[in-house]
Structure 1
Amino acid sequence: MGVIRSIYERLLTGIKYLLVLLSTVLIVVVFSNVISRYFLHNSLAWADETARFLFIWITFLGAVLAHDRSEHMNLDIVIQSVPRKVGLTLLVIANLIVVGILILITKGGFTVVIENYEWMTPALEISYGMVYSVVPACGVILLLQTLARIVKIIKLFGSSGGLSTQR
């Protein structure tokens, strides 16, 4: 289990660095386009497209980090106000719903990538499939995170530890 945890932590670290890089590039691209638009009176044709695609990637990669830290909306108030076993059951049910939704998103993401792989973006001339590949990639990671969380919750049924939606 230590090897898997180590690989997972490296993956999260890589995602953090990638998010910093993508956010920096997004800021530079948007700032450059603003300067170009207002001072040179000429918009950069590729800037809007680049910013849109960077924002998509930042959103999905950020969701992976937020899910790891349990920073998405939780049922904390409800979970803490019911008996322990009921709270754990509610957590499992909520996470199973998340699994179902993630399966739909991931499956749809794979379909979008495959169907749009040869369609090129107008300004950057890169594959839309490459742009949208972040959806199934992050969907798989989110799915694995959620399944691991369910296993952890189920293990709490037998222990005397407190309830928490944290990892």
Structure 2
Amino acid sequence: MAPHTLLTTLRNIYIKIETSVLIILLNALVGLVFMEVIVRFFDNPTTWSVGIAQLIFMWVIFLGANRALRNHSHIGIDVFTNLLPSTWQKYVQLAVHLVMLVFLAILIVYGFEMTFANTGRLITGTSLGYFTVTLAIPVGAILMLGTAISQMGLLIKNLK
């Protein structure tokens, strides 16, 4: 199998796994919040559901952000860049990606700092460490960094 084909296959497998995890987590989040609404209505709230919902929500946010980045689904303001010649538009996209790389690198460093700072804390009503919530930040940023680097490679390739 050629390296390009192998990388494409692995990328497609990763995307399917990421999509499946996102679907499962989002359904779990909706189900959990719905369950909590019902039990609160009957005056019997749980102590753990808010913390677990926060955990799931953080992972959905950062995995979803990577998916949105990969699919170019983030909100973009292109009023001014559309006025530029197409070559300049590519340079602007490249500059934006460079800024994004710096931001994601900072997010990775401080995300891991936050994760390590929360190793002794537990999610309320559970025995799960709160670091599982904050770990979504650096992991999601690492995934987005890989996506951004890949997109930069394509931009550079298309500049020639």
TM-score after normalising by structure 1: 0.87
Deviations along 1:86-111, whole A, 9 cap, x unmatched? 11111110110111111111111111
Q: Shift of residue 80 of structure 1? A: 3.0
Amino acid at match of 2:57: F
CA distance in 1, matches of 2:78, 2:11: 26
Structure 2 unaligned residues grouped into runs of 5+? none
Per the alignment, do residues 66 and 79 of structure 1 end up closer, same or farther by CA in structure 2, a change over 3 Å counting? same
Identity %: 20
The total of aligned residue pairs comes to: 157
> Is contact 1:22-1:58 (8 Å) kept?
yes
CA distance in 1, matches of 2:80, 2:16: 32
Q: Is 1:143 matched up with 2:150?
A: no
Matched residue, 1:134: 136
Matched residue, 2:17: 14
Matched residue, 1:71: 73
Q: Shift of residue 147 of structure 1? A: 1.0
Matched residue, 1:163: none
Deviations along 1:14-51, whole A, 9 cap, x unmatched? 1111111111111111111111111x212111111111
> What secondary structure is seen at the aligned counterpart in 1 of 2:80?
helix
1:47-66 to structure 2, matched below 5 A, reads 47-66=49-68
Matched residue, 2:104: 102
TM-score after normalising by structure 2: 0.90
CA distance in 2, matches of 1:10, 1:156: 26
Deviations along 1:116-151, whole A, 9 cap, x unmatched? 223222212211112221211111110011111111
> What secondary structure is seen at the aligned counterpart in 2 of 1:141?
helix
1:116-135 to structure 2, matched below 5 A, reads 116-135=118-137
> What secondary structure is seen at the aligned counterpart in 2 of 1:124?
coil
Matched residue, 1:45: 47
Structure 1 unaligned residues grouped into runs of 5+? 159-167
Deviations along 1:59-116, whole A, 9 cap, x unmatched? 1111011011000123444333211221111111011011111111111111112222
> Is contact 2:55-2:133 (8 Å) kept?
yes
> Is contact 1:79-1:91 (8 Å) kept?
no
Pick from 14, 35, 40 the counterpart of residue 38 of structure 2: 35
